[in-house]
Amino acid sequence: MTESELLQVIEQAATEGWTKLDLSGKNLTALPPEIGKLTQLKKLILGKYEYDEDGSFVDIIGNKLTALPKEIGLLNQLEELLIIDNQLSSLPSKIGQLENLQSLHLSRNQLSSLPAEFGLSYQIPHLPGNYIAPQLLNIDQPEYNWEKSHNLILRYEYDFMPKGILTRFIVETHPWIEQQKLVWRSGVVLNKDETRAEIIENYNQQEIKVRLWGNRKRELLAVVTYELEKIHRSFERLQYQTMVPCNCEECAVSENPYAYPLENLRKRLNKGIYKIECENSYEKVDVRRLIDDVNLSPQPDYRQSQFQYTPLQRELESEREINLTVNIHNDNQAKLTSEIKNMNSDQSRKVVIGRDATNIGPGAFNLGEISGTVANTINQLPASPELDKPGIKELLEQLKAAIESEPNLSDDDKATALEQVQALAEAGQNPKEGAMQKVAKTAILVFKGIVAGLPTAAKLAETGKTLVPMIAKIFGL
Ligand SMILES: [Zn+2]
């Protein structure tokens, strides 16, 4: 798009009061100050990730902007600003003053710092260059409908509730935020396969309330409890109770059912006591069913085993990883993360959230260990019955070897690639099962993302081209 064409579009948008303007993929090298006229604008796209209908990553469409005009600070209504895949080395500080701005996407740029106005922003783990700034999130809960019957409810009560639990939860579960909109400073609504989960932090009551609705609510609750528990564990000596709602006739239809501390229920089971009396209805209810209703383990033994690692959990983690792999090329990443860490060093104002930013990806890992685990899982797969035709086991063995011997891959990327092989090997036990096909599809996408970052002559790129379609075929993809 030429400069005069761009000016024309801006003029038209200003006259007609557009609220959204998508300028991605227009080969732009500069944005004229006239952009400041678009005071109605709520969403401005200068570069984006493209997804297909089922939400799978397709492509990255950016521009060649090296700077933004300060007039961008005039866009008072702006809620979303996407500048993915450009060549920005800095941002005008005015951006930090846009009061309505709720999300800012900066990945794939050459930023070495963020304006000081972003002192309280958090980089999304696995998503370098993307930030959630809680001070930019709305304080008020947005309006939305909630079907109140047939809910699954769980509550956490804290003796002393540390700040930041919910922000971290939002960061970890962001791929499933409903329309990427139902999120505010103290709450979020997740939506996965038409099942909704509402998680609200109430600081005054020192509690987090979870309610779910939809067909897969038990499965989605398992993801919510898993993610919350992960955060709980990162606080030393955090004291809290998991409150399990009563399911007696009266409570089952109530929005405020009586609730039992999970630990008490487990103690009862341990002593062989299987009934408990509801304090609302005085009805006797079955302890095992109470625990089973919220999909938690009846085992009293400590936290690790309480929370289940489910296929849905893996899906969430893969979606976070996809974002990681498409972001691999920001050369200044190391510098950027260290600067953000410095900006966050003022502990009185800031909370460091998520994993250590230098540890993006599989976390603290040992490549040899991962390799051993993957080899083990592959070994459990059935060998191909035909000598000259490799099956899933043989294909994954080849893929694993190719990843490990690829000199162009960093250890981080190797670990991520091997994790995909691990997912494929696990899914390969039941390759025709819907949930497993989904896992495989995501793993393949992530793997392709990693390979896309390699020079075309790289051996893994070559091998991948042959192996990946054969593997996909086994899963019927
Ligand atoms: Zn009851």
Name 336's Cβ contacts closer than 8 Å, sequence gap at least 6. 111, 112, 113, 128, 129, 330
What is the distance between the alpha carbons of residues 398 and 425, in angstroms, rounded to a whole number? 12
Return the H-helix or E-strand segment holding 5. helix 3-16
DSSP string, 326-382: TTTT-TTHHHHHHHHHHHTT-TTT----SS-GGGTTT-S--HHHHHHHHHHHHHTSP
Q: For residue 28, how far is its CA from the centre of ligand 1 (angstroms)?
A: 63
Lookup result for tokens 């972003």? 118
315 pairs with which residues across the strands? none
CA 477 from centre of chain? 24
Q: For residue 248, how far is its CA from the centre of ligand 1 (angstroms)?
A: 4
What is the distance between the alpha carbons of residues 74 and 93, in angstroms, rounded to a whole number? 12
What is the distance between the alpha carbons of residues 115 and 118, in angstroms, rounded to a whole number? 6
Q: For residue 256, how far is its CA from the centre of ligand 1 (angstroms)?
A: 10
What is the distance between the alpha carbons of residues 66 and 47, in angstroms, rounded to a whole number? 13
Q: For residue 151, how far is its CA from the centre of ligand 1 (angstroms)?
A: 15
User: Do the beta carbons of residue 463 and residue 402 sit within 8 Å?
Assistant: yes
What is the distance between the alpha carbons of residues 337 and 90, in angstroms, rounded to a whole number? 14
Q: What is the pLDDT along the chain (477 residues), one digit of tens a residue?
A: 899 999 999 999 999 999 999 999 999 999 999 999 999 999 999 998 888 787 677 788 999 999 999 899 899 898 888 888 888 877 787 776 677 776 777 777 776 555 544 433 444 444 455 555 555 567 789 999 999 888 999 999 999 888 778 877 887 787 788 887 788 888 999 999 999 999 999 988 999 999 999 999 999 999 999 899 888 887 777 889 999 999 999 998 888 899 999 999 989 988 999 999 999 999 999 999 998 888 887 765 545 445 667 888 888 877 765 443 222 223 333 333 333 333 332 222 222 222 222 223 333 356 777 788 888 889 889 888 887 888 999 999 999 999 999 988 888 788 888 988 988 998 898 888 888 888 888 888 888 888 877 887 888 988 899 999 999 999 998
User: Do the beta carbons of residue 360 and residue 126 sit within 8 Å?
Assistant: yes
Q: For residue 260, how far is its CA from the centre of ligand 1 (angstroms)?
A: 10
Amino acid letter, residue 152 = L
60 pairs with which residues across the strands? 49
Q: For residue 291, how far is its CA from the centre of ligand 1 (angstroms)?
A: 14
Q: For residue 353, how far is its CA from the centre of ligand 1 (angstroms)?
A: 38
Q: And the tokens for 307?
A: 């929370």
Report yes or no on whether pTM surpasses 0.75.
no
What is the distance between the alpha carbons of residues 116 and 273, in angstroms, rounded to a whole number? 58
Q: For residue 241, how far is its CA from the centre of ligand 1 (angstroms)?
A: 18
Q: For residue 149, how far is its CA from the centre of ligand 1 (angstroms)?
A: 16
Q: For residue 284, how far is its CA from the centre of ligand 1 (angstroms)?
A: 8
Return the H-helix or E-strand segment holding 424. helix 411-427
Handedness of CA 363, 369, 371, 376 (dihedral sign): negative
Q: For residue 214, how far is its CA from the centre of ligand 1 (angstroms)?
A: 22
260 pairs with which residues across the strands? 244
In the chain the domains, ranked by start, together with CATH numbers, are: 3-136 (3.80.10.10), 152-308 (3.30.310.200), 361-477 (no CATH)
Q: What is the DSSP letter of 136?
A: G
What is the distance between the alpha carbons of residues 82 and 44, in angstroms, rounded to a whole number? 6
What is the distance between the alpha carbons of residues 189 and 97, in angstroms, rounded to a whole number? 27
Q: What is the DSSP letter of 177?
A: B
Go through the chain and tell me how many residues it has: 477
Q: For residue 259, how far is its CA from the centre of ligand 1 (angstroms)?
A: 8
Q: How many CA atoms lie within 13 A of 386 on its CB side?
A: 5
Q: For residue 218, how far is its CA from the centre of ligand 1 (angstroms)?
A: 20
Q: For residue 254, how far is its CA from the centre of ligand 1 (angstroms)?
A: 9
Q: For residue 67, how far is its CA from the centre of ligand 1 (angstroms)?
A: 61
Q: For residue 258, how far is its CA from the centre of ligand 1 (angstroms)?
A: 5
Q: For residue 303, how far is its CA from the centre of ligand 1 (angstroms)?
A: 26
